[in-house]
Structure 1
């Protein structure tokens, strides 16, 4: 690893909170107050975005030489869960933008980072790294073209992070370029997560210097500490695990509050033994899912902090913990919606969280192939395999 030049440091870093867990929890009232307005607007509100910047939350995973915190995985889980409990779209945008911003800071060349990380705020980088575009070499860079979907948070971003395949070599690269180099397509008309503004975008034959690219699956940082040996995909696992836990936690708390508010009236759920048992089972499922996520990430943190790399067993369990948390949260959301009756049917927190949860389950990190790969590996049926993103593939010989 190399250290970034001193010019890449941030003059305002000393004024930014370093306890991002406390900062996220302190923002919960503001985020809650703005959640309905964000959904109506199809993007986070300006007060929320400004507060996220002021608290340095977009720098959660930015390398320390650039003024970031390099927040450890378990604390990162707490941050995303806290924001998601206040508003699922806010939690989603922060995890997505923090991933793209932080990994850009860790893996891009010095020239790119010098241009991006300046001013009084961290840059916001958004986009997506799944369905790739195409790139061709052009001197000391590439010409990139393609169309992409699900650019969460791009309405608040200055830079795009997007995947392309180099035609000459087949190499998958992440390209980072200014947002104004792309055509944004405002088509986010969806069931849930409306305030993420996860619109489509296209890029047509745009030149991207080599310094603004890095290998998609890299786990070798140019700057920053052991955190960045996780690689992009494992940052995504942290975020999506915490997001699922945050949605389901808030839904359980809303249901508990609703039931308590009606306690004492004849025939309410508060007196139903069947409801009490079902609620207890839901709480047990939530705590079990959270414990699995935290346990696997504590082990992963110990591994990378020691200078080692994650084993295939650990990578598998991290994916399994995410998958379990997502579908446990989905089951909890259904149980809460049913128990909530007409309160959950009408516009409000329960309805919105139910819709947001079912939007979140469509993400690639919780697709059927993930559990199939986990079962194949843990069952001893793929001994010479490793994970590439969310796919279990044969190890390179």
Structure 2
């Protein structure tokens, strides 16, 4: 339990949080186009999400967060993604990146980062794209990092680095031969953005590349760092033991369920009014058949995801950590949901014909879907690792990492 007194933003019930989310969805949706043009969330959207406690809903109570279960947080997150894909993305990223940081950072680090309360935006990339040279009291870091989703509104930056020897060049290896990686955290004002977020979809996430500002190296004190593969959470209870492996799977699944649902809802709305040379869209036997099949695939994928996470919640409630098979389930569910929404999105786009060509809600969600599916966590290699687990081809003490199973 934390020995530091952290500020809290109140203790709303889950029902109150859900009602608040529903109340702000129209405003988030109405600001979507403005956010797209800004290449980041509008300030108003950011404030709505922050004040609703959505950026800290997965953070532990010890730092003032809501510490919702993954299942409960999934229900809220997918509603935000339903309203605006980029807004949903920023919510799930902060709960994955910032959430994991809140679990693993030292007590002194948590006191620094959460000095003003839990609703802190943390952005950056924990995948190592930089280097950390050990010095007294911490590390001197350097590098260029990519995909800093939500970085415009961030207060803290989360940057993965390969640890080097004192020469700054020779990489330190772990006992298993893999490079040692450290996650560092530093204030937003220490970095500058590269103006390179010119992309197909998820435009309003503002996922710019970034580098250090006016410096070749930056000192980061050790209390603001932790190992990429640290396995023991300092706070957050049993569910905190999932770390980055589980929280990223939760986040991407949550987002995909929201945008996939919205694509089908938009198509159903269009079908009620669209008439072309072949008649009314919703009277076409072929369309009705294919739409029903799309619904079945989506709902089945959603059920799989919720079943996997509900099983995980039961394990945590019993005071146990997740098994390697349970983590394989949530990893596979994440990828499967993305495969399904990719197919559903393509079906909706083609069925809508010219209606989806124009700038608007359906086109934006189509672009967002086919951007989210490009994430490295959707790699076939991770699915192969799930297969290895199910086939019993891993060791008894095997553990999941972000990209695969060690053992």
User: Same fold by TM-score, threshold 0.5 exceeded?
Assistant: yes
Higher mean C-alpha deviation, range 230-239 or range 211-220? 211-220
Contact 1:229–1:304 (Cα < 8 Å) also in 2: no
Q: Displacement, 1:71?
A: 1.0
Matched, 1:296 2:305: no
Task: Go from structure 1 to structure 2 and tell me whether the alpha carbon gap of 1:144 and 1:77 turns closer, same or farther (over 3 Å shift).
Answer: same
Contact 1:97–1:125 (Cα < 8 Å) also in 2: yes
Contact 2:2–2:62 (Cα < 8 Å) also in 1: yes
The residue number in structure 2 matching 1:133 is 130
For residue 57 of structure 1, give the secondary structure of its aligned residue in structure 2.
Answer: coil
Contact 2:58–2:70 (Cα < 8 Å) also in 1: no
Q: Displacement, 1:242?
A: 1.2
Q: Structure 2 CA distance, aligned partners of 1:60 and 1:155?
A: 20
For residue 104 of structure 1, give the secondary structure of its aligned residue in structure 2.
Answer: helix
For residue 137 of structure 1, give the secondary structure of its aligned residue in structure 2.
Answer: strand
Q: Structure 1 CA distance, aligned partners of 2:352 and 2:101?
A: 43
Q: Structure 1 CA distance, aligned partners of 2:122 and 2:337?
A: 27
For residue 183 of structure 1, give the secondary structure of its aligned residue in structure 2.
Answer: strand
Q: Structure 2 CA distance, aligned partners of 1:151 and 1:17?
A: 31
1:178 to 187, 193, 208: 187
Q: Structure 1 CA distance, aligned partners of 2:163 and 2:67?
A: 30
The residue number in structure 2 matching 1:4 is 3
Q: Displacement, 1:52?
A: 1.1
Q: Deviations over 1:301-325 (max 9, x none)?
A: 1112222111111111111111100
The residue number in structure 2 matching 1:37 is 34
For residue 135 of structure 1, give the secondary structure of its aligned residue in structure 2.
Answer: strand
Task: Go from structure 1 to structure 2 and tell me whether the alpha carbon gap of 1:264 and 1:364 turns closer, same or farther (over 3 Å shift).
Answer: closer
Contact 1:3–1:224 (Cα < 8 Å) also in 2: no
For residue 49 of structure 2, give the secondary structure of its aligned residue in structure 1.
Answer: helix
The residue number in structure 2 matching 1:100 is 97
Q: Displacement, 1:20?
A: 3.1
The residue number in structure 1 matching 2:67 is 70
Once superposed, what is the RMSD of the aligned Cα atoms?
1.9
For residue 222 of structure 1, give the secondary structure of its aligned residue in structure 2.
Answer: coil
Higher mean C-alpha deviation, range 70-79 or range 219-228? 219-228
The residue number in structure 2 matching 1:324 is 336
Q: Structure 1 CA distance, aligned partners of 2:220 and 2:333?
A: 37
For residue 146 of structure 1, give the secondary structure of its aligned residue in structure 2.
Answer: strand
For residue 202 of structure 1, give the secondary structure of its aligned residue in structure 2.
Answer: strand
Q: Displacement, 1:91?
A: 0.4
The residue number in structure 2 matching 1:378 is 390
Higher mean C-alpha deviation, range 149-158 or range 118-127? 118-127
The residue number in structure 1 matching 2:176 is none
Q: Displacement, 1:106?
A: 1.9
Q: Structure 1 CA distance, aligned partners of 2:374 and 2:186?
A: 27
Contact 1:16–1:54 (Cα < 8 Å) also in 2: no
The residue number in structure 2 matching 1:52 is 49
Q: Displacement, 1:265?
A: 10
The residue number in structure 2 matching 1:116 is 113
The residue number in structure 1 matching 2:177 is none
Q: Deviations over 1:148-177 (max 9, x none)?
A: 110100001010011112113442211111
5+ residue gaps, structure 2: 166-171, 174-179
Q: Structure 2 CA distance, aligned partners of 1:391 and 1:301?
A: 22
